[in-house]
Structure 1
Amino acid sequence: MKLVILDRDGVINQDRDDFVKNTLEWIPLDKSLEAVANLTQSGWHVVVATNQSGIGRGLFDVHALNAMHEKMHRLVNQAGGRIDAVFICPHTANDKCGCRKPMPGMVQDIAERFNVRLEGLPMIGDSLRDLEAIAAVGGQPILVRTGKGEKTLAAGNLPAGTLVFDNLFEAATHLIAG
């Protein structure tokens, strides 16, 4: 099974310093929906893994998060794609949980649920914590320059073997090409 894990904010949709808190603030990035559709149509399974500490901080609730994800699924479907699952961590950094990226818990849960090997499993993100979560289990970290990506790239210290692309569309095109 070909499976790719995507971070959400800054990869699929616009990120905000004050958190994406509702469906009006959930705005897809240019060509991101098309990228997911291309992956789906090329036989890839797409899973989203997203830290959502806005829940733990009380900035929005699970109903608002579900509404954002319903919008994401609807728009991806309209573009001809599919997101197979969305995994979230609702905790804040202070909670010290194992599912909050950069910890690898969410990635391990996805691999177990979909019965895929962690080694070489690609994950596309815009922050160092996305890259660290997948690198910790032997996966393939992929950085996009959208969202916090440019800042992440400028800061350096990327995990060994990190691939870098301008956006999700280019990263998806690379994966599809094999």
Structure 2
Amino acid sequence: MKKILILDRDGVINQDSDAFVKNADEWIPLPGSIEAIAKLYQAGWTLSIATNQSGLARGKFTQADLDAQHAKMLDLIHAAGGDLHAITWCPHGPDEGCRCRKPEPGLLEQISQRLDLDLNGAVMVGDALRDLQAGQAMGCQAVLVRTGKGEKTLAAGEGLEEVLVVADLAELAERLLTGKL
């Protein structure tokens, strides 16, 4: 398995909100997520984020607000001894027909091009079916976390063939680092 991990953001790394995560104060990391990212980075994993951020198109927050959220996240990851290789986001609404909004694979294609990586065999982590579908379209191993919308996704049950289910990002990191994926 390639040591490439692509993460959805809201519900995987930080708390999700049906009212949108609108600013850095509302960006709250899930327990163990920052440490998991740092451990994987230190173990030589290439780490990227692919996140739908339709709140931009809906006027819920600005690009500066999103940049501040990502700065806070990166500050926490750096303080824990980790880093990210790329952060990609889709700023479009669900009806705009773009190629970057998951389940379309456009964000992953951006990561592939930016980092000059073949993502076939990488790991895609999400809490929603659309995250997993975007990864599978690029040949990634799909992993569903139970955090965020994960329990709701699991209860729906469709499209989860060949999907690994873990409690959270910390459990996934432990499994990856001990070769138990």
Q: Could you tell me the TM-score, scaled by structure 1's length?
A: 0.96
Aligned match of 2:81: 80
Aligned match of 1:114: 115
Aligned match of 1:62: 63
Q: Does structure 2 conserve the Cα–Cα contact (< 8 Å) formed by 1:11 and 1:146?
A: yes
Q: Does structure 1 conserve the Cα–Cα contact (< 8 Å) formed by 2:4 and 2:119?
A: no
Aligned match of 1:104: 105
Partner SS for 1:142 = strand
Q: CA deviation at 1:159?
A: 3.9
Q: CA deviation at 1:65?
A: 0.3
Partner SS for 2:26 = coil
Query: In the alignment, is residue 45 of structure 1 matched against residue 46 of structure 2?
Result: yes
Aligned match of 1:4: 5
* Structure 1 unmatched runs, 5+: none
Query: In the alignment, is residue 150 of structure 1 matched against residue 143 of structure 2?
Result: no
Q: 2:138 and 2:50 mapped to 1: Cα distance?
A: 15
Q: CA deviation at 1:85?
A: 1.4
- 4+ residue runs of structure 1 moved beyond 6 angstroms? none
Aligned match of 1:90: 91
Q: CA deviation at 1:177?
A: 2.4
Q: CA deviation at 1:124?
A: 0.7
Partner SS for 1:55 = coil
Q: CA deviation at 1:148?
A: 0.3
Aligned length in residues: 178
What root-mean-square deviation, in Å, do the aligned CA atoms of Structure 1 and Structure 2 show? 1.1
Q: CA deviation at 1:121?
A: 1.3
Q: Could you tell me the TM-score, scaled by structure 2's length?
A: 0.95
Q: Does structure 1 conserve the Cα–Cα contact (< 8 Å) formed by 2:53 and 2:91?
A: yes
Q: Does structure 2 conserve the Cα–Cα contact (< 8 Å) formed by 1:7 and 1:48?
A: yes
